Amino acid sequence: MPIDLARLRAETDACDQILHFNNAGAALPPRPVVEAVVAHLRREAEIGGYEAEHEAAARLARVYRSVATMLNAAPSEIALVENATRAWDMAFYALRFQPGDRILTARAEYASNYLAFLQVARRTGAEIVTIPCDEDGAVSLPALERLIDERVRLIAVTHVPTNGGLVNPADGIGRLARAAGVPFLLDACQSVGQMPVDVTAIGCDMLSATGRKYLRGPRGTGFLYVRQELLEQLEPPFLDLHAATWTAPDSYEIRPDARRFENWESYVAGRLGLGTAVDYALEVGLDAIADRIGTLAGRLRCTLGEIPGVVVRDLGASPCGIVTFTKASEGADALKARLAQLRMNVSVSRPSSTLLDFAARGIPEVVRASVHYYNTEGEVDRFVAAVAAA
């Protein structure tokens, strides 16, 4: 079904006030998400935090089902956590590494993930190996296949890197990982919500994502998927009385589902907002969302590329809704500041976020303009005109 753009913009309060091309940072939440969060906070003020959570128990349980439906997983394979980084960390640090173990990752891997690799490599003697890129800049599947051997303990790849429109071939990576019996951890922070992400079709064992980006959920929300067969083999890096039960003075029992990766205290209002955001995306339709975002991003890339001195920096055969570029006559920070004066939101990506990729490409920084389905063709044209202005 086609997207009802008028309705979606009417339900996004800031659409008539700002041009928001920073959806890869934090998208504008729709009104139902805002109302879900505010209503629960108000209820906490009226009857108490514990009591409001108890009252919302059935709606909280539905959040797990909604996320599972979106990912084609089981609710028992879903954990709700504070953010995507915590979700990723809980999965990664549950694995045990030894000297000689190898972690295979992508050139455009996100800094937080790579820092964790470095920490574990320093502690354990494990080795980090970067998978070569194909001619379009994505993970090379033939190269990955050649690297997989008995030393490989983990394949960890970011689906959509933070610094551009590249989409790594997650399903191909999953196929090779599953054939080799190697765990596959997918960082889907930028892909969930802007395109269909099916963990069964991809074949990943673990997946981390956030609420605030393309899902249009609240900040301070995220989730982790862990495949049931692997779940039973992983002990979280830390436990509390939610993740485990203290059964005797010298023993404990970890809960059997993915909620072993959660902790007792949680942002209840945010979780309800996250569930509302997932349901909203499912109602709009993930395929329709992907088509709309792809159309807008394609228009943006094409028209930006026509501006003298502007170079579009995105890699990949079929780039997504994140559009990155540089302008010869204007630095990224200066351009961002000038656009902000026009009430146009973008962000700047730097080597500190994806060091290996920036170094390999010799780029000091890029402007990142990320579109969403509620943006319009008119906004794209206004934005391009503003970038082109001296």
Model confidence pLDDT, tens digit, residues 163-184: 999 999 999 999 999 999 999 9
The tokens describing 316, both together, are 């990949």
Residues facing 129 on adjacent strands = 104
Whether 280 shows a pLDDT value over 90: the answer reads yes
Chain segment 207-251, per-residue pLDDT in tens: 999 999 999 999 999 999 999 999 989 999 999 999 999 999 999
CA–CA distance, 95 with 79 (Å, rounded to integer): 17
Query: Which residue, among 149, 271, 186, 262, has the nearest Cα to 221 in the 3D structure?
Result: 271
Output the CA–CA distances (angstroms, integers) from residue 206 to 39, 81, 105, 173, 222, in the order listed: 33, 14, 14, 13, 14
CA–CA distance, 4 with 299 (Å, rounded to integer): 20
Average pLDDT in the 324-353 region? 97
Average pLDDT in the 307-324 region? 97
Whether 272 shows a pLDDT value over 90: the answer reads yes
Buried/exposed 38-75: b ≥16 CB within 10 Å, e otherwise: eebbebbeeeeeeebbeebeeebebbbebbbebbebbb
Average pLDDT in the 156-162 region? 98
Residue 12: pLDDT band with limits 50, 70, 90? very high
CB 34 within 8 A of CB 284: no
The contacts of residue 369 (CB under 8 Å, 6+ apart) are 21, 22, 300, 322, 323, 324, 325, 346, 383
Percent of the chain with pLDDT over 70: 100
DSSP assignment of 136-193? TSSBPHHHHHHH-STTEEEEEEESS-TTSS----HHHHHHHHHHHT--EEEE-TTTBT
The tokens describing 41, both together, are 């906070």
Side-chain-side CA neighbours of 250 within 13 Å: the count stands at 0
Residue 87: pLDDT band with limits 50, 70, 90? very high
**Long-range Cβ contacts of 328-331 (<8 Å, 24+ apart):** 329/390, 331/365
Q: Domain boundaries in the chain?
A: 5-29+286-388, 32-283
Instruction: Give me the CATH topology for the region 32-283.
Output: Aspartate Aminotransferase; domain 2 (3.40.640)
Q: For residue 295, how many other CB atoms are within 10 A of its CB?
A: 15
Give the pairing type, strands 78-81 and 206-210.
unpaired
Buried/exposed 155-174: b ≥16 CB within 10 Å, e otherwise: bbbbbbbbbbbbbbbbebbb
Percent of the chain with pLDDT over 90: 99
CA–CA distance, 37 with 218 (Å, rounded to integer): 8
Residues facing 187 on adjacent strands = 158, 208
CA–CA distance, 12 with 373 (Å, rounded to integer): 11
Buried/exposed 101-114: b ≥16 CB within 10 Å, e otherwise: bbbbbbbbbbeebb
Query: Which residue, among 390, 380, 194, has the nearest Cα to 304 in the 3D structure?
Result: 380
Q: Answer yes or no: CATH 3.90.1150.10 is held by domain 5-29+286-388.
A: yes
Average pLDDT in the 33-47 region? 98
CA–CA distance, 227 with 205 (Å, rounded to integer): 5
Residue keyed to tokens 């982790």: 224
pLDDT at position 2 is 84
Average pLDDT in the 382-389 region? 98
Chain segment 91-125, per-residue pLDDT in tens: 999 999 999 999 999 999 999 999 999 999 999 99
Whether 390 shows a pLDDT value over 90: the answer reads no
Whether 143 shows a pLDDT value over 80: the answer reads yes
Q: pTM value? A: 0.96
Average pLDDT in the 304-315 region? 97
Average pLDDT in the 318-347 region? 97
pLDDT at position 228 is 96
